[in-house]
Structure 1
Amino acid sequence: MYATVGDRLIVRSNRVGGPVRDGEILQVRHADGSPPYVVRWSDNGHETVFFPGPDAEVHHFQDGLAPDPGDDAG
């Protein structure tokens, strides 16, 4: 997994019907874009250092448009 500042981090629940959590990547701590990331979560505005697991995906920010976190095509 690799990311840059401004990308969206999407974390899907491992439970059927569970919540989808998303946040903006504010800081990438490694030059190669690997985790951990500093993320501001959209549901509560908190900023945390996050080590993504297998239930997480990065939606890359391109051309000023980021995909909708609920959009499975992104």
Structure 2
Amino acid sequence: MHAHPGDWLVIKGVRVDLPEQRGQIVAVGSPEGSPPFTVHWLADDRISTVFPGPDSVVLTGAELAARDEADRTRFERSSALRHDGKGTFRART
């Protein structure tokens, strides 16, 4: 895993009640961009040193924005559907 300052570290939530964590990488451990990363976390405004695990991904700002937009689109599409109680979905009328 490699990153540059300004990239985003996203750690997937491993349970439904544990949401993903996002933080902006402010420093990397080597000139090649390998861990550990110094991360400024959005949720609680703290800064910590992280050795990312397999549940983590590094995204550029543009990749994160594209992912958020895809998530919004998927949510809007699913909100426009209604479960009919018979195991299928149909468009709301």
TM-score (norm 2): 0.65
The runs of at least 4 consecutive aligned structure 1 residues that moved more than 2 Å come to: 70-73
Percentage of identical aligned residues: 36
Number of aligned residue pairs: give it.
Answer: 70
Is the 1:7–1:66 contact (alpha carbons within 8 Å) kept by the matching residues of 2?
A: no
Q: Could you say what the CA RMSD is over the residues aligned between the two structures, in angstroms?
A: 2.3
Residue 19 (structure 1) aligned with residue 16 (structure 2): no
Any stretches of 5+ residues in structure 2 without a counterpart? 71-93
In structure 1, distance between residues paired with 2:29 and 2:38: 8
Structure 1 residue 18: deviation in Å? 2.5
- The higher radius of gyration belongs to 2
In structure 2, distance between residues paired with 1:48 and 1:14: 20
Any stretches of 5+ residues in structure 1 without a counterpart? none
